[in-house]
Chains A and B, each alone.
Chain A
Amino acid sequence: MTKQKNPCWSFFTSVYLTITLLALMVILSIVGTLIPQQDAARGFIQGISPGLASFLQTMQAFDVFHSVWFFLLMLLLCLNLIVCSLNRWPLTWKQFRGAPLAEEKGLFRGLTPERIFMCDEDVETMTGRMEVLLSRKYRKIIVNCEKEDAIIICGERGRYSRFAVYAVHVSLLLLIMGAFTGAFWGWEGYVNIGEGETADAIDLKGAEGTKKLPFTIRCDKFLVAFHENGAPKTFRSDLTFLQDGKTLFQGPLLMNHTISLEGVRVYQASYGSSPDGRASLAFSRGGGEEKIIKVGPGESFALPEKNGTVQIARIEEDLMKMGPAVKIIVHSGEGDVSCWVFQHIDKIREMSPGVTEQIPMFNPALFKPYIFVLKGIEERHYTGLQISSDPGAPLVAAAAVFMMMGLMGTFFASHRRIWIKIERAGEKTKISVAARTNKHRVVLDREVRQLTERIKISLEAGST
């Protein structure tokens, strides 16, 4: 009892505190959706006066969900939940464990007529019959032999539902714990790995430096497939995870199908093509027999008649929106000649006739008598992986399970108890039905109605 008098304790037991805290969280969350947060805030800050901006900055309004305010609310809510639950616990435990089936005071007072029956059989017979009826739907039948020739039998259902609200509260504590665990010990970063390449470190989110992974990832292949309408259908990376030269795991990574390894989770986040692919270049002497050669950037090759060497200066996937192109420099005795070789040269000529004459740089036949043709650039994909670790996630998952169980128990179950008193009343035997529940009266009333219907039928059958 002394605990209740402590003002601090009673402050935290108050449901008004809960309501206030939840309401404050609502307000803070609304602020968090109205004011752009984190990275999105930059543009917003430029549009408002510097004074207001610095005020909002000080109030941590640009990162509400990681602010001191939010943290404090969470902390107070946790304290509130814990104190409130501890405060209620002894009573709940008493109701759960104590002698819940004993007759309560005034239980049989003021019963409606449909809950009272009179019959000719003796008390003992009726007790047996009532027990059978009651045990159809209710557990734990207790028979209390009372004085004054009266017997009370009791049944109950849903005793465990008394703990449901605690399950909800525990789930919220787990949830908040999980969120904090994730915020303090979790990390998240990105890495791009070209096909055939490996990576063992990632760039952490928010420019917080790099992090070494407990394994090396090799991208064996990246594949993107499209639907007929052009929308992407599948992103797939074939990855190999290596540790100390040994293969830990090998398999495909798809969106919505992550790979989890050593407490680290790998996501398919993005993809792209790297510009350092190899070009397939064809050349001929004045339109004669074509030769195809595969070259990478910076490489060179000799022309067959030994009157020059060709160097690949640049390889572009899409030069000035005219498609793939390669810049070549031909070194020869007559000096250097450089030009762009386009893959879609025919189309470019069609679109803008005479372009190769106007811009000699675009003329693939600039170094006579050779004509160069770009057959294509080998696409070299890279996969963009998001890699993160959240040690709080299992706690959050456990919280979800507890919360669902708790909510079901709180809203859809109740602790219902039914007492049937069988006593001698003059020449007859009187049967009275009383019931109590901790919530959902409607459900209890329906069940009592069903029971009294059965008793009625049973009595009518018995009397004939």
Chain B
Amino acid sequence: MTNTMLLSWATFLYFGAFVFYLFRLVFRKEFWGQGAFYTVIGGLGAHTLSMLLRWKESYALGFGHAPLSNFYESLIFFAWALILLYVIVEWRIKDRSLGVFVLPAAFLLLAFASLTPSISNRIQALVPALQSNWLTSHVVACFLGYAAFTVAFAIGIMYFLRNIPLFGFIPEGETLNELLYQHAVLGFVFLTLGIMTGSVWAHYAWGSYWSWDPKETWSLITWLIYAVMLHARYVRGWKGDRMAVLGVNYLPGLHSYLQS
């Protein structure tokens, strides 16, 4: 099982990157920040390779499906999307302070997926209901959305911590606000896409595009809360604390996913 070995490497590298980001804060040397970034890139490479290998292995086993079919694979993809998004953000805003908050999330996701005994890492055959490209698109869209919400969540936490002297490295409130909004929007668009592709799948697999089961309902609730927030921002210019709370609300959707 080379894919799990590569994944252990990715987990290890993400943890290393987190430590380097911490060093950067403690020693205030950009050297550590650069090291951390390259470590993240290395981890992402191993992570990507691991997913591709797993995909290939599933073909070798005769199942032939994208590595997005069960809880284990979803968590792996979630962590991957999170890191990918983080790399793009760091590269675009040229600010490394977010790393300390995002890297542990990815590391913990991978550790949770690998170490929890009840989560099987076997490549499994798909039952007929799950043999659908719409389902694959649904998982991709949803977890890209969750990744964006997780980054928004991290920014929300940074927003609340920014006035504590210990966290002097955090960028100013206005920048955080804008960044938080962008990620909330990105998550919202992906969530919308995820609900849509999920509906299409349900339409073809279960005979109804919407049947008000708890998972569907919670995704709608999450969607509605974000819709409220975006309208509130539009009319009242809600910013700061109230927008930062927004980051926390991605939890209901995720919670309902974990229930499954």
Contacts and interface: CB of A to CB of B under 8 A. Distances in A.
Interface string B181-220: 0000100110011001001010111111110101001101
A396 B208 CA distance: 12
A80 to B, nearest CB: 11
Interface in A4-33: 15-16, 18-19, 22-23, 25-26, 29-30, 32-33
Given A25-B224, A29-B224, A407 B205 contact: no
A233 B128 contact: yes
A396 B209 contact: yes
Contacts of B224: 22-23, 25-26, 29
Interface string B173-185: 0000010000001
A327 to B, nearest CB: 36
A65 interface: yes
B235 A393 contact: no
Contacts, number: 95
Interface stretch (B4-12, B21-29, B40-48, B225-233): B225-233
A32 B231 contact: no
Interface in A386-441: 386, 388, 390, 393, 396, 400, 403-404, 407-408, 411
A300 interface: no
Contacts of A257: 204
Contact of A23 (B214, B218, B228): B228
B119 interface: no
B231 A388 contact: no
Contact of A29 (B124, B178, B220, B227): B220
A273 interface: no
Given A22-B224, A234-B128, A188 B208 contact: yes
Contacts of B193: 404
Interface in B146-184: 178
The contact size tier of chain B is: 35 or more
Contacts of B199: 396, 400
B212 A32 contact: yes
B127 A231 contact: yes
A251 B34 CA distance: 60
Interface string A21-54: 0110110011011000100000000000000000
Contacts of A30: 221
A232 interface: yes
Contacts of B227: 22
A166 interface: no
Contacts of B63: 227
Contacts of B251: none
B228 A19 contact: yes
Interface in A255-298: 255-258, 265, 267-269
Contact of A258 (B185, B192, B204, B210): B204
A18 B231 contact: yes
A16 B125 CA distance: 50
Nearest to A226: B125
20 contacts: A15-B231, A22-B224, A26-B228, A29-B220, A29-B224, A188-B207, A231-B125, A254-B128, A255-B128, A255-B131, A255-B205, A256-B128, A256-B129, A256-B205, A265-B207, A269-B207, A390-B209, A400-B196, A404-B196, A411-B189
List the 7 closest pairs (A to B, CB-CB), nearest first.
Answer: A255-B128, A227-B125, A15-B235, A267-B207, A256-B132, A33-B214, A386-B207
